[in-house]
Structure 1
Amino acid sequence: MFSEEQIIAMLKEQEAGMPTADVCRKHGVSSATLYKYKAKYGGLEVSDARRLRTLEEENGKLKKLLAEAMLDNAILKDVAAKNGSARCEAGGGGACRGGPRSEPAPGVPGPGCGSVERALSQRPP
């Protein structure tokens, strides 16, 4: 594997007029690899390439943290849902369907009453 400095040096040789086949032979890479490097590092200086690598590493860490947070969130939702159904089975009421507190609070439309749909349909376009 080549460092950013080596890759940029190869690309500069090619940009200076050295034929692609000669650059590939000199450095022991295929032309496909050289063109892949050119797509990623073309026009960059060494400092830019280092910054790119740093940003890619940071992006990978952030993606991992986001995935872990989403997994934790999904687990917590699952646990909360299981706890809610356990309370319903135990007769605890609360948000359970058919329990003693299943009516909406005063002034809050209940499910299926159609008031929300009615309000949306009467809204001016």
Structure 2
Amino acid sequence: MPRKSFTPEQIIAKLRLIEVAMGSGKTAQLACKEASISEQSYYRWRKEYGGLQHDQAKRFKELERENARLRRLVADLSLEKAMLKEVASGNW
């Protein structure tokens, strides 16, 4: 079954929909089924996006992407630095 990817806005909308359904007396399992997501996804999303608004969630995802990019850059630069140190010392 292909995996669906949701935007942060869609995730927050589904979380709100499930919260409303649960507030009206439905179980989490039934509310998730009506929202077409698994119960596991609901709890994972609630943990990650719990109290965020749409714009905050979008900014959060942008920061996560930027952080991952910067971590890759630091790793690459650290590797280059280590290689240059090794070449400069002449121990090979």
Identify whether the pair has TM-score above 0.5, normalized to the shorter chain: yes
Q: Report the Cα distance in structure 2 between the residues aligned to 1:44 and 1:23, rounded to whole angstroms.
A: 20
Name the structure, 1 or 2, with higher relative contact order (CA <8 Å, separation 6+): 2
Q: Which structure shows the higher helix fraction? A: 2
Matched, 1:14 2:18: yes
Q: How many residues align?
A: 84
Q: CA RMSD in A?
A: 1.7
Partner of 2:86 in structure 1? 78
Give TM-score scaled by structure 1 length.
0.61
Percentage of pairs with the same residue? 37
Which runs of 5 or more structure 2 residues have no equivalent in the other structure?
A: none
TM-score computed with the length of structure 2 as normaliser: 0.81
Distance (whole Å) between structure 2 residues aligned to residue 2 and residue 26 of structure 1: 16
- In structure 1, the gaps of 5 or more residues are 87-125
- Amino acid paired to 2:19: E
Q: Find the counterpart in structure 1 of residue 70 from structure 2.
A: 62
* Larger Rg over CA atoms: 1
